[in-house]
Amino acid sequence: MNIILLGPPGAGKGTQARILVEEHGMVQLSTGDMLRAAKESGTEMGDIVADVMARGALVTDDIVIGLIREQLNTVNANGFIFDGFPRTLAQADALTNLLAAEGESLDAVVEMEVDDDALVARITARSTCGDCGEVYNDNTKPQPADGKCSNCGASDFRRRADDNEESLRTRLMEYYKKTSPLIGYYYAKGMLTKINGLGEIATVKAAIDKALS
Ligand code: AP5
Ligand code: MG
């Protein structure tokens, strides 16, 4: 199964994608994670995108489509979870074509609905394990008291450069202007299921399982 998790910043896309990976052996393709990895490793592309990401603006379609193309060409998977991609109509069309070139297609698009106040609260309280990417939240999923990641045992917790109120405002604006048209696009294709992303992590997970079954 190839699915898209669609939703605004902080909707819980990364959190739920990691659960799907664990339970179903699918592969998570997060363009945000790929871009942050490029930034960390100091590649030319990483340098180009660093400022854009910190401001909360979107990176160009060419760059992210290239990243996804490379993954689809090289990774063999029991289904892909697209997390944070596509984010524009041009990216959505590119994804259809890239999957078709691999003899694959998209099976479902899950839209995670969360209101803006909850998004701000979630984003400003988020941290991530720098080693394995496990996602924490000061309020709803605090870092373990022993200071070690519950998934991998590392002690390298990080906060993202774009997880501040000003960047978040830009990220939300980008979502509503450029990404939300995808809701109508996939609805028209009969692929969209909306779920309430406001419940607890396990409740949201159950809603996604139901949407995919
Ligand atoms: P990206 O990394 O994709 O960020 P985003 O879309 O803004 O989404 P987030 O990762 O912030 O949120 P999430 O939905 O994954 O939530 P999470 O599970 O972490 O993109 C970053 C940047 O890269 C973009 O701004 C852009 O510059 C660039 N970029 C990336 N892709 C691009 C593309 N395709 N085109 C162009 N540019 C691109 O959860 C958030 C918090 O909430 C966590 O603390 C978590 O513990 C908590 N939480 C999760 N679920 C729940 C729940 N049910 N209840 C309570 N708390 C919860
Ligand atoms: Mg994410």
Strand order in the sheet with 192-196: 27-30, 80-83, 3-6, 108-113, 192-196
Identify the CA nearest to 101 among candidates 63, 69, 142: 69
Q: Tell me, yes or no, if 126 is annotated catalytic.
A: yes
- For residue 84 and ligand 1, the question of a CB distance below 6 A is answered with yes
8 A C-beta contact, residue 12 and residue 20: no
Distance CA 64, CA 51 (A): 16
Residue of 18, 39, 122, 126 marked active site? 126
Average pLDDT over the chain, rounded to an integer: 95
Mean pLDDT of 123-136: 94
Provide the Cα torsion 22, 24, 27, 30; round to 10°: -70
pLDDT score of 55: 95
C-beta 140 within 6 A of ligand 1? yes
Contact between 79 and 24 under an 8 Å Cβ cutoff? The reply is: yes
Pick the residue whose CA is nearest to atom 23 on ligand 1. 32
Mean pLDDT of 120-131: 94
Distance from residue 106's CA to the centre of ligand 1 (Å): 21
Mean pLDDT of 2-20: 97
- Nearest Cα neighbor of 110 from 9, 11, 29 is 11
Per-residue pLDDT tens for 60-99?
999 999 999 999 999 888 899 999 999 999 999 999 999 9
**Which ligand is closest in space to the CA of residue 195?**
1
Report whether pLDDT(124) > 90. yes
Going through the chain in order, the beta strands assigned E by DSSP cover 3-6, 27-30, 80-83, 108-113, 126-129, 135-137, 157-158, 192-196
CB-ligand 1 contact for 120 (6 Å cutoff): no
The structure's pTM equals: 0.96
Q: Quick check: is 13 catalytic?
A: yes
Q: Which ligand is nearest to the CA of 142?
A: 1
pLDDT at 78: 86
Quick: pLDDT tens for 143-188: 999 999 999 999 999 999 999 989 999 999 999 999 999 999 999 9
